Structure 1
Amino acid sequence: MPKILVIDDDRSICETLDLYLTEEGYEVKTALTGTEGLNAFVETVPDLVILDIRLPDIDGFTVLEDLREEDENVKVIMITAFHDMETTIKAMKGGAFDYIHKPVNVDELDMAIRKALKAREMERKIDGLLMEPSRQFKVGDIIGTGREMREIFKTVGVVSQSRTTVLIQGESGTGK
């Protein structure tokens, strides 16, 4: 179940989004200030943050910057009642995944959430794939007990201690 953190100083928006998103199957945590939101982010490690730009203690852009310092891949959807292009550009340049104007359109929010969570999922898959090659090629993973394979294991053991380049040859399909 994906976790969503909502940071908005308007209690009614937090409660409405909490109710709606919970019904949609998300685990939701809300915060009414930037400081409370940053603490909740560290505690819950959400998959997505919905962040208001205007907060009573810390500017939403500062919160966005702090969130990205904590996790550079965090997906943040910024929301605001102010409709100016400069704010939108600043949010996107600051690393926001999307930007939605209040009053929040549920369909627009749903689409933004789905896209953000899909992007997060893809990043995690890519990170997993990038980690696999180092795990994939261990000597202990080689199967074989014949005399020839024992000789190969000895050779691999000797060669692995040096910076020697090795050319492995053999017929196609033999598992070189």
Structure 2
Amino acid sequence: MGSLILIIDDEPDICRLLKMSLSRDGYQVKYVHGLNEGLAFIEEEVPDILFLDIHLPDGSGLAALPFIKENHDNITIVTISAFDAGYEKEAALSAGASYFLPKPFNIKSLKDLMVQLHE
């Protein structure tokens, strides 16, 4: 079985797109639509890769990043956001994210990212 990926994003279409594409490549993919639910999931089952939306209805993925990295340093975190003004990318990478994936993204950019993750 492939690596476990957790997606924390409040947009069902984004979650389904990511799950469909990543599952085809052999990953085990789970998703939740809220930050609190995602943090609870991580305490039960630590994913190898986390796709974390920065803006969630129940909290800031950006604010949760240092906590996640402090408690689970081995998780590769990819932040995703529709707000790509430069500040958010910089803040996410400074807070411990490995990569920043701006929305909207396409399957090619996702596949390119996954190749980078495994280099």
Deviations 1:4-28 (A, max 9, x none): 0011011111122112211111000
Distance 2:64 2:81 in 1: 14
The CA RMSD over aligned residues, in Å, is 1.4
Distance 2:22 2:3 in 1: 10
Unaligned runs of 5+ in 1: 120-176
Match of 1:44 in 2: 45
SS state at 2:56 partner: coil
Match of 1:65 in 2: 66
Which structure has the greater CA radius of gyration? 1
TM-score normalized with structure 1 length: 0.63
Which amino acid in the other structure matches residue 81 of structure 2? T
Match of 1:93 in 2: 94
> What are the within-5 Å matches in structure 2 for residues 1-176 of structure 1?
1-116=2-117, 118=118
More strand by share: 2
1:73 to partner: Cα distance: 2.9
Which amino acid in the other structure matches residue 53 of structure 2? D
1:106 to partner: Cα distance: 1.6
More helix by share: 1
Match of 1:171 in 2: none
- Aligned structure 1 segments of 4 or more residues deviating by more than 2 angstroms: 113-116
Judge conservation of contact 1:5–1:30 (CA < 8 Å) in 2.
yes
Distance 1:58 1:39 in 2: 14
Sequence identity, in percent? 34
SS state at 1:37 partner: helix
TM-score normalized with structure 2 length: 0.91
Distance 1:107 1:41 in 2: 28
How many residues matched?
118
Q: Identify the structure with bigger relative contact order (alpha carbons < 8 Å, sequence gap 6+).
A: 2
Judge conservation of contact 1:77–1:112 (CA < 8 Å) in 2.
no
Distance 2:66 2:106 in 1: 26
